[in-house]
Amino acid sequence: MKKSLLISLTLCFFLPLAAQETNDHAADSLRHVFGRQQVVPTTLTTSEYADTLDTGNPSVKVVLYDNGTYRFVKDPSAVADSTVFSEFWDTRTVNPYNTSPETLPDQFSIWIVDSLDSYCCPNKVTPRSKFGYRHGRRHQGIDLPYPKGTPVPAAFDGKVRISDYIGGYGNLVVIRHANGLETFYGHLSERKVDSGDWVSAGDIIGLGGSTGRSTGPHLHFETRYKGAAFDPSWIIDFETGTLRHRLLKIRSWYFNPNQRYVQNVDDEDEIFRTDEEDRIAAEEQAKKEAAARAKAEAAAQKYHTIRNGDTLSGIAKKYRTTVKRLCQLNGISEKTILRVGKRLRVR
C-alpha cells in the first residue's frame, strides 16, 4: 500500500497540468478548478509517509506524514473481494455484461462518492461533443478538449479493467468503481496503468491524445452502469468541474442512446425522496462524523524523531509530558533503548 500511495501522491502533484494551469498557486487553482470535491493536498508530495491510524471504518485509514499533515486513504483490499471486481470482468471486451438496460429497475440510486470525497474532474471545460446521436452515429460518451500529452486523471477510485488499444477508442482505459459504475477514457496517446491496477481519484491513468477514430486531440469520456452508457453530465458538471450529486438517482430512461442530460429532473429529488435514501443519507452522515472524529484525533497527535543523545526524560521535558505518558503512548518501557531515526509519539 505504501508504494501505491507514494505513486499516487507523486502523480497528484502533476494535476495542475491536467487543468492546464501552471501558475505558482497550484493548490489554490486546484481548488478552483476541481471545486470542493478535490481532495488531493499537493503539499503532501514532498513528505515522508510516517504512520497509519484506524478510523473505525475498516476500509479507511488515516495516513500521517512526517511534516504533520495527514490524508484519508481507502484501503482497496476492503473492496477487492467484492463481486463487482470479479463478475463480468474482462480485460478486452468493452461491454462484458450480458444485461440489457431494459432489465435494470425503473429507478435506483448509487453513491457516486462517499464521505471521503474521492473525485477528480477529468477536465473542467466546455464539452466539445455531447452524448447522443451525431451524424447518424451513436456517441456513447462526451468529448472533452484535451491537448496531446496532458495527464488524464482517474475520476474516482477503482480498479483498471481495460488498458488496451481497442478499435475506434484507440488507447482506452476503463476503470470499474466499487459502486458498479465504469468510466472510460479514450483516444489516449499513452496509457499509464495496466488492467488489474487499483487507482485513486486523481491518479494519472494516461495522456491525452488522438488515437483511434478521432479527428484531433480530445478525451472521449464515458460513464456506464452494467455496460449501459448514459450521459456523464448526469454526474459531472464539466463547466464547473463539480459533481452534481453524491447520491445519484438513475432512471432507466437515462440509458436511452439519445437521452442527454436535462437540468430540471433534479428538482424531483427533494420531493420524491424515498425512505431508503433517507436511511442511506443518515448512514452517510454517521460515516462523515466518524471520519471527522478520526481527523481531529489524527490532528491532535504529534511525533518526535529520535536523534543521537535523546533520552525519554529529555523528550518528555521538551514536549511538556511525562516519561510514563510517552511509554503508554508508544507501548514501551522506561528501559527501552531509543533507536536513532525511530519515531516516537509524544501527544
Binding footprint of Zn ion on the chain (CB under 5 A): 141, 143, 220
Q: Where are the beta strands (DSSP E) in 140-243?
A: 142-145, 151-153, 158-166, 170-176, 181-188, 190-191, 198-199, 204-207, 218-225, 228-230, 236-237, 242-243
Closer to Zn ion by CB, 143 or 157: give it: 143
Task: For residues 122 and 144, give the distance between their C-alpha atoms in angstroms, rounded to a whole number.
Answer: 9
Question: Which candidate, 312, 318, 302, places its Cα nearest to that of 339?
Answer: 312
Task: For residues 85 and 115, give the distance between their C-alpha atoms in angstroms, rounded to a whole number.
Answer: 22
Minimum distance of Zn ion from residue 191's CB (angstroms): 17
Minimum distance of Zn ion from residue 192's CB (angstroms): 20
Minimum distance of Zn ion from residue 221's CB (angstroms): 8
Question: Which candidate, 175, 213, 205, places its Cα nearest to that of 89?
Answer: 175
175: cell is: 476503470
Closer to Zn ion by CB, 204 or 229: give it: 229
Closer to Zn ion by CB, 29 or 210: give it: 210
Closer to Zn ion by CB, 139 or 177: give it: 139
Task: For residues 221 and 173, give the distance between their C-alpha atoms in angstroms, rounded to a whole number.
Answer: 10
Closer to Zn ion by CB, 76 or 186: give it: 186
Q: Which amino acid is at 347?
A: R
Question: Which candidate, 308, 304, 341, 342, places its Cα nearest to that of 326?
Answer: 304
Minimum distance of Zn ion from residue 196's CB (angstroms): 26
Closer to Zn ion by CB, 79 or 205: give it: 205
Closer to Zn ion by CB, 143 or 231: give it: 143
Minimum distance of Zn ion from residue 6's CB (angstroms): 34
Q: Which residue, chain included where needed, has cell 452502469?
A: 225
Minimum distance of Zn ion from residue 236's CB (angstroms): 15
Question: Which candidate, 156, 274, 157, places its Cα nearest to that of 282?
Answer: 274
Minimum distance of Zn ion from residue 223's CB (angstroms): 13
What is the DSSP secondary structure assignment for residue 129, as one 8-state letter?
B
Q: Which residue is nearest to Zn ion (CB)?
A: 220
Say if CB 208 and CB 149 are below 8 A apart: yes
Using CB atoms within 10 Å of the CB of residue 171, give its burial: 0 to 12 exposed, 13 to 18 middle, 19+ buried.
buried
89: cell is: 470482468
Minimum distance of Zn ion from residue 62's CB (angstroms): 39
Closer to Zn ion by CB, 157 or 222: give it: 222
